[in-house]
Structure 1
């Protein structure tokens, strides 16, 4: 009897050790394939995660250029705030309806190159085309026959320059946001579950560094340099740099790790991601071995599994969703997802109120400039100085986000996800309110710092929660137990729907804020609204199902 107990003690392998054994078995199996897929089942080094997520440097560079220059570009070609914000609504409207469908389509792609990378390549190409058009829309219009006049009354008649500028903006905005969601899905597909917090943190960190450089580029007066003279303007110089960075980031990410093709995933269960059902079955098998050696009872669940010949089988493997099933699941999504999506929607309302109009706010309300004034006037120069100063503030925003992302995983481990989520949103609400009231140069850095905290939070935690939901195949807990989900939900589709909350928020912001600004005659309202929506998001976050994260 004592000998049996010793054997039993030796076989009491911890859950962590058991997971290592499962990963090792799949790692060795994946290594024997015609193409080596073993990297999917091993931890990644920091350098590997950096290369994998390098596309985010290009994405954040694009955001920096958008934030700093798109609003001045649109106002500079003669659009009113009302009409400009209606233009802003076009691409998010397309994105809200089509981005989740694109992600669902990526779940079904059967190419040997994988599922996510072909989509990322197409989105990246569209993004680069938009970046090349956007800053040169006016010049393209002149080439096509527009009269070379100033900004006044440019919208009174059809102008090619306006059309090309808007087309470039739509291509940039739609592709960069859709790319954002698909890229995150690709990152988590390639990494083991323990690496999910790390890869998302690294993406925010290096993206933040890229955004910091992008905003600093926007704060430089390139018109006084040889490069600016050669390319024609500040906008053209910055967007040229963005194109180069996007090309480098896209190439690095797409060539980092190969994906397991969908046909292989369907044929070989040992190449699939490890789900909760796999782990529970392995634990059951371990308990059976212990019981057999010690003379105990065989677990009932194992007898059922054994009799059906399914000792370790991934019954809950997420097979690709058809479009009809995708929309059915979208309508009947679990309550936990509805709350998470709504919280993300409110968070993005606050973020976009700040992001889309911040440099315009600084130029008008703090530096008392006017973008529609004559180019040689003091008001016009003051506005441009304010835009450059606003770029410095946004550089602080993205740098603080990057720094916070380095310690974000440890912060969650120490304080748990729920307090971290709510505190990050409330802190930003307070910072925005202080800036709207004070309206001094130093207050810009306060609100930008708190926005960095919020940005890391909303770009990491919601995606970790979806990963947690899918790994455990559960969206709620009852009595401390996970309730299994009976829906066949696509991981890529759920991640992309979360990303699409940015599109929905941009639609609302675009249709409402511009008219309010024109009616009030001041852009301070955008800072107040950023504060309000961050606080509302914090209230909504109290209802999120965090499982054990």
Structure 2
């Protein structure tokens, strides 16, 4: 199909998609003629909740075939919605909190709450997803649950102050002509000061925003934690329903969608919605942005969770029981007729558990979902000693929780490298606009309102947003070629090279402190984001696909005797973002104060990325 598309071009693809949609609509109308739309919706929801297809049968044929780029895009749509939410969070949470009375020195505590929760809870959620018995599968219930948290955060952040007024928050003003006057004012959602006459007559005597601060911080924690945590089951879901050959392409597509979501999200926040009918109708700039992003987020997550059905855990356990009853291990088969007949018998028994299964790829002895759930081995493995654990029961939740503490050295190294990568990136993402406003534009956020220093800082912050949009765009562009780079230069060079490129970019940005450098060198941040979004998870998936987590002293593959869940390992690696954000939130302010310049932000990012590159040299890459 891809070869055909190369001849057809984009116009041919558009016509093909149009014809396919028409054919599906026509077929659906024929099969549901006269049916009530409400009853159809209820029936569809019931089938989805039970993990069934539209026909009501357990059809898992999609598991056994390569996925097209459009299918991978749909699988990755959830992360695009997450990045839209991230963009709204980073752009508006701090100004919103400062506006209702949170002091600058307390902002560090606000940003540290989510990482504390996420660092300990995310790996546990990953372990729970590995042993989830829901009919929908193991990953999608967690995607839905965490998405609800993001949804609530998107509602609370722009409306926290108004909720505070309902709970008793107030402004108290003094009017010279009337006397004391206490007013509960509505949330000012626009930057336009239209009540100039009133503001001259009234002066703020006191105010209380305790409830507003509470609801806004609650929304921030929900939004920040759930958006980060949701990425782990989303990645595991993509790996579960795709074959090993699609993992690199799938993860690169995942990163492309993340980059596009970030770029479009920052661009959406850069529009002056106060001057539009939509902004006026929705209640101002902030509410307009959050409302639009909420709808986009729901659409993106909905597209992902309705894309491909997972094989339920009970069925995967049945496959494992078949293997235990019939064969010691695929790695021990020597290719004689008796083994071939036994293999065929096993596969037929597996097929009998599912209806309409597609043709299994040659040499693929385990189901893709089964292969990803716990470590298993393919028939092409020459020395996979399944004998040691073949008669053991399926790993329990306790086993997965213990595996968080007892990690192979290979996964520990990946975690350390990912920690340095996220630390370097957090320096950029959380403090970059402040660096541009102070060091590049020479502004001062503490200067008197409307002074030249203050206006220069505000202009720098807005200009820094363009730099961040460039980094998101470069992330998407680099993700288009990272798979080819891995194939051409191997994973080690791509991983280390991406980190060194970011380190050099941040160093040059710190040295130049120029507007052009803000735009040009921000592309290095996109390379970093694409690298840390792709490489660690590609390595984890590769370890599980090969069933190898460590090497012997001679450098040969060594079986550790341990069965691990990929959901757990993906969550462990992902939790490094929380640790990095927590530590940077605690110490970055002190680093800037001691150096007396925000240039320390870029310098620290460059140093941490270089440490990550050194750590990446110690990673076990196998044959990747």
Task: Show the counterpart of 1:402.
Answer: 476
SS at match of 2:623: coil
SS at match of 2:564: coil
Q: How far does the alpha carbon of each residue in 1:332-361 deviate from its partner, in whole angstroms, 9 at most, with x for none?
A: 211111111001001100010111122232
Matches within 5 A, 1:45-444: 45-148=68-171, 159-269=210-320, 280-281=331-332, 284=335, 315=390, 319-323=394-398, 325-369=399-443, 381-444=455-518
Counterpart-to-counterpart distance in 2, 1:358 and 1:318:
51
1 or 2 for the larger relative contact order (CA 8 Å, sep ≥6)? 1
The structural deviation recorded for 1:542 is 0.7
Counterpart-to-counterpart distance in 2, 1:260 and 1:271:
16
- 1:492 paired with 2:567, answer yes
Range 172-181 or range 440-449, more displaced: 440-449
- 1:541 paired with 2:616, answer yes
Contact 1:269–1:314 (8 Å) recurs in 2: no
Counterpart-to-counterpart distance in 2, 1:289 and 1:230:
69
Range 490-499 or range 225-234, more displaced: 225-234
Contact 2:161–2:209 (8 Å) recurs in 1: no
The structural deviation recorded for 1:503 is 0.7
Structure 1 residues 462 and 395, CA gap change in structure 2 (3 angstroms)? same
Contact 2:259–2:475 (8 Å) recurs in 1: yes
- 1:525 paired with 2:593, answer no
Number of residue pairs aligned between Structure 1 and Structure 2: 496
Counterpart-to-counterpart distance in 1, 2:564 and 2:58:
28
TM-score (norm 2): 0.73
Task: Show the counterpart of 1:13.
Answer: none
SS at match of 2:143: helix
Instruction: List runs of 5+ in structure 2 lacking aligned partners.
Output: 1-52, 173-186, 189-202, 342-384
Range 203-212 or range 397-406, more displaced: 203-212
Range 196-205 or range 325-334, more displaced: 325-334
Please tell me whether Structure 1 or Structure 2 has the larger radius of gyration of its CA atoms.
2
Structure 1 residues 250 and 318, CA gap change in structure 2 (3 angstroms)? farther
Q: How far does the alpha carbon of each residue in 1:392-418 deviate from its partner, in whole angstroms, 9 at most, with x for none?
A: 111111111111111111100110011
Contact 2:100–2:209 (8 Å) recurs in 1: no
SS at match of 2:557: strand
Range 493-502 or range 217-226, more displaced: 217-226
TM-score (norm 1): 0.83
Range 513-522 or range 247-256, more displaced: 513-522
Contact 1:425–1:538 (8 Å) recurs in 2: yes
Matches within 5 A, 1:448-467: 448-467=522-541
Q: How far does the alpha carbon of each residue in 1:318-342 deviate from its partner, in whole angstroms, 9 at most, with x for none?
A: 944423x334322221111111100
Structure with more helix by fraction: 1
The structural deviation recorded for 1:454 is 1.1
The structural deviation recorded for 1:311 is 11
The structural deviation recorded for 1:35 is 0.7
Counterpart-to-counterpart distance in 2, 1:485 and 1:146:
59
Q: How far does the alpha carbon of each residue in 1:438-495 deviate from its partner, in whole angstroms, 9 at most, with x for none?
A: 2111111233100111111111111011111111111223345311121121110001
Task: Show the counterpart of 2:346.
Answer: none
RMSD (CA atoms) = 3.3
SS at match of 1:89: helix
Structure 1 residues 171 and 271, CA gap change in structure 2 (3 angstroms)? farther
